[in-house]
Amino acid sequence: MTKPRVHIATDHAGMELSAHLVSHLTAKGYDVVDHGPTEYDALDDYPSFCINAGLAVVADQEAGVHALGIVLGGSGNGEQIAANKVKGVRAALAWNLSTAKLAREHNDANVVAVGGRQHSVEEATELIEAFLAEPFSNDERHVRRIGKIAAYENTGEIVE
């Protein structure tokens, strides 16, 4: 499988980690698109950055481009919530290797959220790499469940 295009966004608390990841992932052969911010502002409003990254992931996927996203913050919670407002995004908060891998394997998450203040740069990098490398299992039960989530997202109807 080819490496995905990676869309990344952050708030001020994740800027150092974001800069590291852009450099690190680019050196590993990923096509990384940075959705900002471009300069530190302790009062920044991260939702626009994370929503733009989510929109780009979905647009790439709809165009047949293998793409995933990364959203970073102090905890990653707000960034995950913002990204999940984009139709077609399945953003998962990863806090250990298991959650990073299971987000892809079971949930086919297309965006990972990580808290820059919760992990060392090395730990966060390991989580991101695990997420990017893990394939979706395509197991029928997971496909069925994701389909039910998508049905609700698209129609507002809960499928039993």
Give, for all 160 residues of the chain, the pLDDT tens digit.
689 999 999 999 999 999 999 999 999 999 999 999 998 888 889 999 999 999 999 999 999 999 999 999 999 999 999 999 999 999 999 999 999 999 999 999 999 999 999 999 999 999 999 999 999 999 999 999 999 999 999 999 999 9
- In angstroms, the CA 24 to CA 18 distance is 10
Is 24 in the active site?
A: no
Is 79 in the active site?
A: yes
Q: Is 64 exposed, middle or buried (0-12, 13-18, 19+ CB in 10 A)?
A: exposed
| pTM reported for the whole predicted model | 0.97
CA 51, distance to chain mean position in Å, is: 11
- The structure tokens listed for 26 are 């680019």
Asked if 94 contacts 114 with a C-beta cutoff of 8 angstroms, the reply is yes
The one catalytic residue in 12, 20, 24, 106 is 106
- In angstroms, the CA 79 to CA 118 distance is 14
